[in-house]
Amino acid sequence: MARVIVRFENGDPERVIDVDLSKAPFQHDGRPGSILDILLANGVPLEHACGGSCACTTCHVIVKQGSDRLSEAEESEEDMLDKAPGLTPTSRLGCQAVLTDDDAEIVVVVPRFTINQSSGSHGG
Amino acid sequence: MAVERTATLVAVTDHGADTRSLFLDLPGGLDFRPGQFVSCLLPVDGERLTRPYSIASSPEHADRLELLLNLVPDGAGSQHLFDLPIGGTIQLTGPWGTFALDRAPDAETVFLADGTGIAPIRPMLHRAAATASRPLHLVWATTNPFWADELRAIDGLSVTIIAPSALEATVRARWVDADDDRSRHFFVCGVGDIVPRLRDLLRGSGYARRAVQYERW
In 3-state terms, what secondary structure has residue B97? coil
Yes or no, beta carbons of B99 and A55 under 8 Å apart: yes
Q: Is A91's Cβ below 8 Å from some Cβ in B?
A: no
Per-residue pLDDT tens over the stretch B155-168: 999 999 999 999 99
Residues in B lying within 8 Å of A, measured between beta carbons: 1-4, 37, 39, 41, 47-52, 91, 93-94, 96-99, 196, 199, 209, 214-217
Q: Is A71's Cβ below 8 Å from some Cβ in B?
A: no
CB nearest A113 (choices: B1, B48, B215):
B1
> Average pLDDT for residues B138-167, to the nearest whole number?
97
Q: What Rg, from alpha-carbon coordinates, does chain B have?
A: 17
CA dihedral A19, A38, A13, A120 (to 10 degrees): -140
CB nearest B1 (choices: A54, A57, A117):
A117
Per-residue pLDDT tens over the stretch B95-129: 999 999 999 999 999 999 999 999 999 999 999 99
Q: Residue A117: pLDDT above 80? A: no
Q: Residue A122: pLDDT above 70? A: no
Per-residue pLDDT tens over the stretch A50-81: 999 999 999 999 999 999 999 999 999 999 99
CB nearest A124 (choices: B48, B91, B98):
B48
Distance from the first to the final alpha carbon of chain A: 26
The count of other CB atoms within 10 Å of the CB of residue B57 is 22
> Average pLDDT for residues A22-35, to the nearest whole number?
95
Q: Note whether A1 and A18 are within 8 A (CB).
A: yes
Q: Residue A123: pLDDT above 90? A: no
Q: Distance from CA of residue B133 to its chain's centroid?
A: 22
CA separation for the pair B119, B66 (Å, rounded): 9
Total-model pTM:
0.93
Per-residue pLDDT tens over the stretch B28-71: 999 999 999 999 999 988 888 899 999 999 999 888 999 999 98
